[in-house]
């Protein structure tokens, strides 16, 4: 199947005219010739057209090339496993996955190796030992994403420290715009984690006013059992920000209660880390 044939199929499924389908991405007259196979659409215009109609580029290209769909799905599966290995801090799983990546010869093998190496270093708190080329690849891959999914949200959350504060604000705004109304608990976990990291970063840099829209998004996510840890951690920067805005002592008490709770539930090391942050930034 050709690109033009598949575009036409998608348009007809959406029950749209060619003018409605293209919007302002390309001219309707140009697109009419694309569907007839008389014009070739550029990669940039094709992606813009898919974005305009809310179509996943990955899904589109997988229909265009069924073999590539299987490879894409396998790559996503391996990314999921790498992210799981990171959260489990499992060096043995990282080594096993590296061997699998080497054997399977997937199209983005080099990128998968880079991700495996980077997540492994991050899990060992050795991210500063990564070479600059590897850091640049990770930063570029995340920054260039047109849309995020659960896996890329988790990866970005893990690698936020590679970016400066302005880049993090830019990426986080993009993510919040895409997911602020999501009811998927796994996505909400990632959003709260990203917002938490960003708030800590903004407080350290005294960029208090820029936190307000992110705090609003975090507060609008309902508290459910699966999100209690993330919500408790966020109480520290949110109450610290409120204290900076109002100088009301009760916000300091709220910070200390949230920190004590983490120690109470068996996370003394993390509680100690937050205590240090609180002391340095109150």
Whether 193 and 242 share a structural domain: yes
Whether 147 and 81 share a structural domain: yes
Whether 153 and 210 share a structural domain: no
Range(s) of the domain holding residue 48: 3-64
> Does 167 map to a domain?
no
Whether 276 and 209 share a structural domain: yes
Domain CATH for 46: 1.10.260.40
Domain boundary among 16, 46, 64: 64
Q: Can you tell me the mean pLDDT for 210-231?
A: 93
Whether 69 and 155 share a structural domain: yes
Q: Can you tell me the mean pLDDT for 138-160?
A: 76
With a CB cutoff of 8 Å and minimum separation 6, the contacts of 214 are 172, 176, 195, 198, 199
Q: Among candidates 210, 267, 198, which has minimal Cα distance to 234?
A: 198
Whether 133 and 97 share a structural domain: yes
**What pLDDT, on the 0 to 100 scale, is given for residue 207?**
94
> Does 16 map to a domain?
yes
Task: Give the separation between CA 278 and CA 203, rounded to whole angstroms.
Answer: 10
**What pLDDT, on the 0 to 100 scale, is given for residue 33?**
92
CB 252 within 8 A of CB 215: no
- The total domain count for the chain is 3
Whether 55 and 78 share a structural domain: no
> Does 96 map to a domain?
yes
Task: Give the separation between CA 151 and CA 82, rounded to whole angstroms.
Answer: 10
pLDDT in tens, 240-277: 999 999 999 999 999 999 999 988 888 888 889 899 99
Whether 82 and 147 share a structural domain: yes
Whether 51 and 99 share a structural domain: no
> Does 171 map to a domain?
no
pTM greater than the 0.85 cutoff: no
């Amino acid at each position: 199947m050709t690109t033009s044939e598949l575009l036409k199929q998608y348009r007809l499924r959406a029950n749209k005219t060619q003018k409605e389908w293209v919007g302002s991405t390309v001219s309707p007259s140009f697109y009419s010739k694309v569907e007839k196979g008389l014009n070739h659409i550029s990669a940039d215009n094709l992606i813009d057209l898919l974005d305009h109609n809310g179509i996943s580029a990955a899904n589109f290209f997988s229909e265009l090339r069924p073999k590539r769909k299987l490879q894409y799905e396998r790559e996503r599966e391996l990314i999921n496993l790498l992210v799981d290995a990171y959260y489990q801090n499992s060096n043995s799983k990282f080594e096993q996955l590296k061997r699998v990546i080497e054997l399977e010869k997937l199209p983005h093998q080099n990128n998968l190796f880079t991700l495996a190496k980077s997540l492994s270093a991050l899990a060992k708190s050795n991210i500063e030992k990564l070479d600059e080329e590897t850091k640049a690849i990770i930063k570029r891959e995340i920054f260039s994403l047109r849309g995020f999914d659960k896996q890329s949200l988790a990866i970005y959350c893990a690698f936020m420290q590679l970016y400066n504060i302005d880049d993090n604000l830019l990426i986080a705004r993009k993510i919040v715009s895409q997911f602020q109304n999501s009811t998927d608990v796994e996505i909400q976990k990632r959003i709260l984690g990203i917002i938490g990291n960003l708030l800590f970063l903004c407080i350290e840099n005294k960029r208090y006013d820029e936190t307000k829209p992110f705090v609003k998004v975090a507060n609008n996510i309902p508290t459910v059992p699966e999100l209690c840890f993330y919500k408790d951690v966020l109480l520290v920067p949110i109450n610290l920000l409120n204290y900076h805005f109002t100088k009301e002592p009760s916000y300091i008490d709220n910070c200390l209660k949230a920190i004590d709770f983490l120690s109470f539930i068996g996370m003394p090391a993390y509680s100690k880390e937050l205590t240090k942050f609180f002391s340095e930034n109150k």
